[in-house]
Amino acid sequence: MDNRQVAFALGLAQKAGRVASGDFAVRSALNGGKAKLMLIAGDAAENSRKEMEYLAETAGVKTVTGPSRREIGLAIGKSPRTAVVITDANFAVMIESKCHD
């Protein structure tokens, strides 16, 4: 995984308004059926990871592990984030491919 490429793709998605970040926004996107992919920070606490994975599984959304919380936050211009949801299918494919390279 190349963190710079993931961060670049996240930044593009954020500028396009296709990223939901923060607890309420992530849950809302998952429950509203808008989520296409959930990116969970590589350094997320185990309990947080399990909770986010459960929420994504319940909503039928794929999860991938990404860069650190700090790097995710910097990429989208916000404070550190444990998880973000991508709401666009094309950005989801792009970010998922960058996480598996």
CATH of the domain spanning 3-99, picked from 3.30.1330.30, 3.40.50.720, 3.20.20.70, 1.10.287.3240: 3.30.1330.30
The Cα–Cα gap between 59 and 37 comes to: 11
Q: Where are the domains of the chain?
A: 3-99
Q: Give the number of other Cβ atoms within 10 Å of residue 34's Cβ.
A: 16
Residues 47-99 pLDDT 10s: 999 999 999 999 999 999 989 999 999 999 999 999 999 999 999 999 998 88
Residues 21-55 pLDDT 10s: 988 999 999 999 999 999 999 999 999 999 999 99
